[in-house]
Amino acid sequence: MKRRLLLAVVLGLATGLGGETLLFLQRQCRLIEGSLREDFRVLLYLKSDVDAGKQKVLEERLRALPDVDEVRVVSRQEQLAALRRDDPELVDSVMLVGENPLTPVFEVRLSEAAIARVAQWLLKAESLGEFSDVRYKSAQVQALLQAQFYARFIDLALAALFGLAAALALAGRWTLRQSRPL
């Protein structure tokens, strides 16, 4: 009887430690995923400067695409000011050539579901206007998808662990009931 009790305690401790470890890893995966998702943006650079009316129409068309959470237009002046904050020497050397060479950019924040299908989304977005360049961090997409995969895998492992713990508890209870005299 003491041996069975010791075995039950050891199995309980192992199950508890395994469960807590998986819960910790699950939380870390969710935090990483959230951080990567919050930081992810697609930048669509226009080929040339367009008037405010066309820019607003293009912004609304981008906003109307599926899975778009937010669209923000960053003007030439805003980009130059940000560049001036980050690297003033570069701005000075660029301004020697002439006026501001930057073109407006649309900064698009996608929904969680669209990140896995970013290539398909880009095809739709590029068909809306004349963009000179489209940029996003492909390594960030890959890391985000891996974090989602690991979080779901850990969910599966937790479910299996809790199912195993419940089965062991039921088996132990059944064994105790069978060993008692009637």
pLDDT tens profile 68-122: 999 998 888 888 888 888 888 887 777 777 777 778 899 999 998 888 889 899 9
Angstrom distance (rounded) from CA 46 to CA 55: 9
| Residue of 172, 104, 93, 171 whose CA lies nearest to 132 | 104
Q: How far apart are CA 169 and CA 97, in angstroms?
A: 77
| Full DSSP string of 36-101 | HHHH--EEEEESS---HHHHHHHHHHHHHSTTEEEEEEE-HHHHHHHHHHH-HHHHHHHHHHSS--
Token pair of 90, please?
A: 């570069």
| Other CB atoms within 10 Å distance of the CB of residue 122 | 16
Select the more confidently predicted residue: 171 or 31.
Answer: 31
Closest by Cα among 155, 140, 125, 119 to 37: 140
pLDDT digits (tens, 9 = 90+) for 111-163: 988 888 898 999 999 888 788 889 999 999 999 999 999 999 999 998 988 88
